[in-house]
Every structure is written in structure tokens, then in C-alpha cells.
Chains A and B, each alone.
Chain A
């Protein structure tokens, strides 16, 4: 079992509308900079928002396919509003590789299938106030977790020795120290660190992501309509 065991009893539920203790801080940072929290997003004054430091968002893709990041980009022109509201820190979107400051929200794509994923995830927990598991891979393992029913040895044997298309006359197994060490199975994020919110979907739709991120920024309870929560 890698890392610290999260509280399996209660992965936070986005629709429950319950706010983790630290959400208040985010609300303060975001709302004081932008507007009263009831004010619609269109009303945000860019000048006022620029005057004070913006809350920071970090994102990462671990054992995922970048589909959830693509879905985030799918918010179309709303991304202009989003960059007025927030600043991206460590993220593939701006290619910042290490945390340079504390972040309000960490968006996690993908579960953990290597020790590098676990390390990444622990860094996120260390540097972010709120962690959101975005997408099925982060919340349950997703497609990579299809190997969870098979032992690791069987999996590697099939991939590098017995598979019908394998050509490996020296019978080599990948063992370069540069390659992250593969875990015994794929772990959803909340089995490795504490996760504050879960957003299922493959990927969660752009509307779902935008609604969730803005609600977190404004410290509002998040009540997503029926159509925005899907497991596929």
C-alpha cells in the first residue's frame, strides 16, 4: 500500500455541498479579489481581479490519458474568464514542472500506477488546499485499473514475453532505474492521500469542470444538475 491511507469511509462528495475547512480560505482569496460570491462570473472586473494575487490552480496527469485536461480546455471561451480568476502553477498547461507557491486547488487526473505517481500525488497534497480527483482514472483507477484483476507478474509476462506480438529474444524485462517502479495494482487517488472532492466521468464534461472549479473558487456549495454527473 503506497503512501498514507486515506480515510476510505468518506471520499468527499461534490454534490453533498459540504465544504472542507480549508475551502473558506479559498473563498476569501477568490471572492475578495473578484466580487461578492453571489455575483455572476460575467460581472468580474478584470482590473480588480488583477490588482490582488489570484488563487492558484495546479493540475497533473498521472495514470491518465490527458483526456480530462482536454476536457478542461473544452470550456472554450470561458477559459478567458478562468485565467482572469486564477493563475496556473505546476501544470502541463503552462509547463511549470515544480510547485513555486502554495495552491488553492489541485486538479488530479489519473490514478497511481507507479511510485512516481505516488510521489507526485503526495507533492500535490503538500502544496494544495483542496484536491479534486477529476475523472474515472483518478476516482476509481479507470482503464489502467483493468490490470487490477490480474497479478503484476502475469501482466508483465504478457506484455514483454508471452504476448502474440512480442519479439524479445533476450527475454528482457524493463529494469532501468530511470523508469518509475510499477505498483502491484492501480490505486485511485483517495486510497493514497486524502482527497477533498471527486468528479467522476470519462472525462467529466467541460461544463462539469467549469461549474466545479468556479464553485470552489467562490466557496459556494456545489450542486451539479443531473446531466453533469456521469460515469462515462
Chain B
């Protein structure tokens, strides 16, 4: 195994990877945090959000899907990549209707935490205020598409972990949305409150009912420490769902 170890650099720091690992996986093990939203430990890489974009030998690649290769030079924590990532996060904010002030996910939301980490005060782009439909048909969970960032984490978790295949994308471009596989809404599917798909949502889009605002302000996940702190401190890659 050791002779197959891949060696490359991230921001001039030497990093080792096993064959088949992505750049992000190798970085995580080396306590280097690459910002990400659509990537979740245990799910197949998807490359939807592009927040984890790094420069591989000068070319932009999503580090959650790009395999580590011997000798590549990866740029991660530079100012230009920070600016690109902030632009992406700002676009995610203006594309949806994100009202942090009354969202029950606030404080535990990965999109919001990414805004904090990247220093966003307010998106520089004008907000689009799209009109999106809420699916509150299910007794225990709901889909609030205003808050959806189309990361496909719920879709992948439903297929790969729940084995249910009950969620998918419908439409294209600005009309693209997460939808259950029933025209009568979530209530007509096998969706259950304990599904991995529900826990996988990074924002307040696929949510459990009747548990909102349970954690007081000041004790929420990202109240005191930026997202990614645990990876940077060398802890095992966290499950962002917990």
C-alpha cells in the first residue's frame, strides 16, 4: 500500500493520499479545510455547489470529485479562491429566498455558516425573489424550496442510505427544484421523519416539523466556531448532520 501512496501539495504543504481518494478527502485527513456545501461524508461526490473549487495545476476543479494524483499542485486558501467561493455563496443566497431572521435552521445552517466564514455581509448581487412552492403535505416533514440550494444531498441520501429513491430534481435552470416522486406531495411517498435524507439537508429546506428553535441562541452549532473548524483542528471528519 505504502508504495502506492500519492503525494501532492495543497498550498505548498505536502499531502498524502491513497489511490482513489479525492483531493478533498486527502485534505480532510491532513487537517486542511476546503469549504464545501454539497459534499457530505458517506454520500457519493456530486460536484453541484462548486464551493470546494480549488486550482489544480492552475485549473479550477471541484475538489470533492477530482481524484488526487501524484505531483499535482493544488491552490486552496488563496485570496482569489476565497473571492470565487464568496461569489458562489452570494449567488446561492440571491437565487433563493433566505430569511435567516426567522429560519429554524439558523445557527445550524451550513449555507449561513459559509457566509459567516467567508465574511459575507450581504450578497453584492441583487436578490431575485423567486416564487417557489412549499410542500407541507407530510405530517412530520416539509420541503421549503425557498431555502433549497439544489445540493442534492437529500436525493443522494434517499437513494444511497435510505434505499427509497423518493426524491429527485424536476425542471431545468431557474425552474429546477427538488420534488418527491408523487404529484400529491411528500405525504404520498415513503418519506419518514427518521430518513437520512431529512438529516442530510444543509439548509432549512427539508426539515422536521415541530422541532424548530429547540436550541437556544448561543448554543447552536455555528454560533461560536466557524464551519470547518473541527477539520482544521485535526479532528476526524465530522458528520455535518450531527
Contact = CB atoms under 8 A, between A and B. Distances in A.
A139 B93 CA distance: 13
A191 B101 contact: no
A205 to B, nearest CB: 10
B88 interface: no
A13 B119 contact: yes
B116 interface: yes
Given A141-B127, A149-B131, A229 B100 contact: no
A139 B126 CA distance: 11
Taking each of A10, A191, A200, which has the highest tally of chain B beta carbons within 10 Å of its own beta carbon? A200
Interface in B86-109: 97, 99-103, 106-107
B124 interface: yes
Nearest to B225: A226
B115 A140 contact: no
Contacts of B122: 11, 133, 139-140, 188, 190, 198, 200
A149 B127 CA distance: 11
- Sort chain A's interface into a size bin: 20 to 34
Nearest to A12: B121
A232 B100 contact: yes
B interface: dominant SS: loop
Contacts of A24: none
Given A227-B223, A229-B116, A231-B112, A198 B101 contact: no
Interface string B130-142: 1110000000000
B4 interface: no
Given A140-B127, A149-B130, A202-B101, 13 more contacts: A8-B124, A11-B121, A140-B122, A140-B123, A142-B99, A142-B101, A145-B129, A148-B127, A149-B97, A149-B131, A150-B131, A188-B122, A231-B112
Contacts of B123: 140
Given A145-B129, A148-B129, A149-B131, A232 B103 contact: yes
